[in-house]
Structure 1
Amino acid sequence: MTNVSGASGNGRRSAEDPWLAASGPNYSQDTIYTRASDPQGHSKLIHVPISTHLHGEIKALVEGKYFPELRTYGDVVRDALVHRVRYYIDRMKAEGKPTGRLESAWAADVRSAEIDAIREKHKAWRKLIEDLDSTLHTLIEQGDYDTAWYLIETNQDADYMSEPMQKRMAQVIAKHTASLESMARRLPIIEDVPYETRLN
């Protein structure tokens, strides 16, 4: 059975970095590694000439659809590179040759990818908080208090965020909660009807 890293049977790419998968303990020669970039979308483009005979073999592999995961020439080349580089490193280790430069470069790429992932995560959190702040302000200004309360209730739990972001979210919620409570004191008492019912 052939395993696939970087592509699934339905043709969609996974979020797994092919080299991280191949350099880890779960590496297998039977796995096909086809993803062209890391999870952050980073990639490098290389151009290399190859013999006409090798090109013919690659073409036959793709067009023959012997392996559905190999949909393009690039898929074949990427898979071959991952396996061969893994072989080189394993052989160098077995022969007692230093692989520090290769592993250092790989480690640097991993650290860079982690930094990019954290940056993107914080960017998404900031946008969520800013959007919530802006939306709540608009809803309260328009008098749509039910929807505002609903958004506050559904965004109370921010445990998935970092502590500073949780504090910022709490500040936004507290600010608009105070505004809603102030409005409620000035409005006549109405029957308490569940929010979902009011939407119907």
Structure 2
Amino acid sequence: MGNPRRVWFPHASYHITARGNRKTDIFYDHYDRIFYLKLLEEAKHSYPFYLHAYCLMTNHVHLLIETIDHPPGLFMKQIHSQYAMYFNRKYDYVGHLFQGPYKAELQGDINALLQVSRYIHLNPCRALLTLKPEDYPWSSYPHYLSPRPSSKLVTTSKILSHFRDSQQYEFFVQLANRTTSGHPNSG
């Protein structure tokens, strides 16, 4: 059975997830995560897109991407192929790193984008890796809290344009964290 065709059009937004094969870790150290982010940045240069949010967990990734002129399949295949080759070479492994192709859930409106952004930024809290999302180093959340976000990788302006300021976005995220804290979730 083949992969289902994904709906794509310019400026479509997707919550992209990819998990390690058999739910195994895809990142063993911070160098692995740095390399994955480097691949994202290179892909963004080759196939421009907006990365509104990301979180690199231990055995999976979350990306909130808005396409411009290219479907996500072009750059996601490149990123994951290159990362799998790097990972297998580094750790002397063979075989598939990812559990099948990435998943891409089309986001229909701005409310969906805001909710997914919050979900992505709270993922480390739900997985009980940290109590506060700003303490997790492998997430785009700190870019949202910065008074002057400056990143070649993350675009915060679209999400933040729906809030008075970054403190209001922080309140939006933290409100959900307070209501779900203490409930383990594998995210």
Same-fold call, TM cutoff 0.5:
no
Q: As a proportion of its length, which structure holds more strand?
A: 2
Using the size of structure 2 for normalisation, the TM-score is 0.25
Q: Which protein is bigger by CA-based radius of gyration?
A: 1
Q: As a proportion of its length, which structure holds more helix?
A: 1
Higher relative contact order structure (alpha carbons within 8 Å, sequence separation ≥ 6): 2
Using the size of structure 1 for normalisation, the TM-score is 0.24
